[in-house]
Structure 1
């Protein structure tokens, strides 16, 4: 297995949902509730159509695709209300993530988050998991011109951290996110997630590296010594 962390790695940028935290399981339940409440019929390409989109872009997709009378902001507010308790009480870190964060902090690696989720849920999850202190930059795709697979959000986080893209390593769980990281000129490590398991082959083909979770990353580091050599 190729080592993911090298002496060139100055910063690590995580996608959040499905990558850093185990949270993608929340959204099918919310989708099912929403579909029933508003009597919607999902198109066959629904999941791929919204993959990588920002929270705002996904809400706009719902409004336009289903000709909903709600505004984009009203849709986002309802989703946030439905998901908030789970993000603060039920989500967990991916295995090995906290150990990896501690390792990086001790060695001066900067950490950032580039999420397609909304800021309210992102900040709530990080606070509930008590890991806010690790991150130099937390950005959402709604704060840049376009969501993934455009590279905007990854470039913004790198800019915040004052690290050149070639010295950034991205962790992502879906193809559109992997493409965003690659288009930003960064190395990208795909992370397994149950929600996107059927896309694993595509993820492996697009990414520079692949891990099941962050225990794999820590195993590589320990095998090669504390400096990741």
Structure 2
């Protein structure tokens, strides 16, 4: 895996954190006594927090404003990110290796900046990255390649020399279609999509610990 620069998704890729997002919308509505559609988590996972709040308000007739819904969700997520979130096994060692080899790294996440910064700081990996971009800052979710394109430009790199690390199929498809090399990272919350992720990715790992068991980094 020859690379000059790397762009990392955060939740489900660097951090063991997808479960907090998977239950966020359902949990919010459940606490209000509302039964949700079975496919709600699937719909929300491609949205930013504000987009998801607006969707839940419109779809389930919530009386609260979008701002209030976002604030309620953020309080739950922020507590988790500031106090409990952990990096996935092997992540710190892998990032240290890349940094020693002079690889420039960026984070591209759908999570809002203040939450993402708190999460990376608590997990002890914030110091490895030259910067971060969020979907809210870019103005588009990961159905658009803009977040990867902009991160690549900030890294002063090219698609040939950049590898995007992602766990979610829709984001992987976006990066691949845009011409990036992509490393699929296994996360149990995307179990049903693993066959397709393996098929389309240039590289695939079940764990970052695998990177030290094989000659995958050149």
TM normalised by structure 1 equals: 0.87
Distance 1:32 1:51 in 2: 12
What is the correspondence of 1:216-227 to structure 2 with a 5 Å cutoff? 216-220=210-214, 223=215
Give the SS at the match of 1:22.
Answer: coil
Matches within 5 A, 1:62-73: 62-73=56-67
1:100 aligns with 2:94: yes
Task: Name stretches of at least 5 consecutive residues in structure 1 with no aligned partner.
Answer: none
Q: Contact 2:25/2:41 (CA < 8 Å) preserved in 1?
A: no
- Paired residues of 1:170 and 1:188 also in contact (CA < 8 A): yes
Secondary structure in structure 2 of the residue aligned to 1:92: coil
Aligned partner of 1:16 among 7, 10, 20: 10
* RMSD over aligned Cα atoms: 1.8
Tell me if structure 1 keeps the 8 A contact 2:22–2:41.
no
Closer, same or farther in 2 for the Cα pair 1:213/1:157, shift >3 Å?
A: same
- Match of residue 76, structure 1, among 66, 70, 76: 70
Instruction: For residue 173 of structure 1, report the CA deviation from its aligned partner.
Output: 0.9
Q: 1:165 aligns with which of 159, 175, 183?
A: 159
Contact 1:21 1:91 in 2 (8 A): yes
- Report the CA distance between 1:32 and its aligned residue: 4.1
Give me the whole-angstrom Cα distance separating, in 2, the residues matched to 1:151 and 1:55: 19
CA deviation map 1:164-197 (0-9, x unaligned): 2232101111111112221332111111111111
Q: Deviations over 1:183-224 (max 9, x none)?
A: 33211111111111122112212322211011112323xx36
Which residue pairs with 1:59 in the alignment? 53
In 2, distance between residues paired with 1:180 and 1:137?
21
Q: Distance in 2 between matches of 1:165 and 1:74?
A: 40
**CA 1:69–1:159: 2 relative to 1, 3 Å:** farther
Q: Could you say if the C-alpha distance between residues 73 and 207 of structure 1 is closer, same or farther in structure 2, counting changes exceeding 3 Å? A: farther
With normalisation by structure 2, the TM-score equals 0.91
**C-alpha displacement at 1:102, in angstroms?**
0.6
- Partners of 1:52 and 1:218 in 2: how far apart? 31
Paired residue secondary structure (2:133): strand
Report the CA distance between 1:43 and its aligned residue: 2.5
115, 123, 126: which is aligned to 1:121?
A: 115
Q: How far has the Cα of 1:56 moved from its partner?
A: 2.4
SS in 2 for 1:162: coil
User: Could you tell which deviates more after superposition, 198-207 or 108-117?
Assistant: 198-207
Q: Helix, strand or coil for the counterpart of 2:164? A: strand
2:36 corresponding residue in structure 1: 42
The CA distance in 1 between the partners of 2:141 and 2:23, in whole Å, is 23
Gaps of 5+ in 2: none
CA 1:51 to 1:31, structure 2 compared with 1: closer, same or farther past 3 Å? Answer: closer
Please say if residues 23 and 41 of structure 2, whose CA atoms lie closer than 8 Å, have aligned partners that are also in contact: no
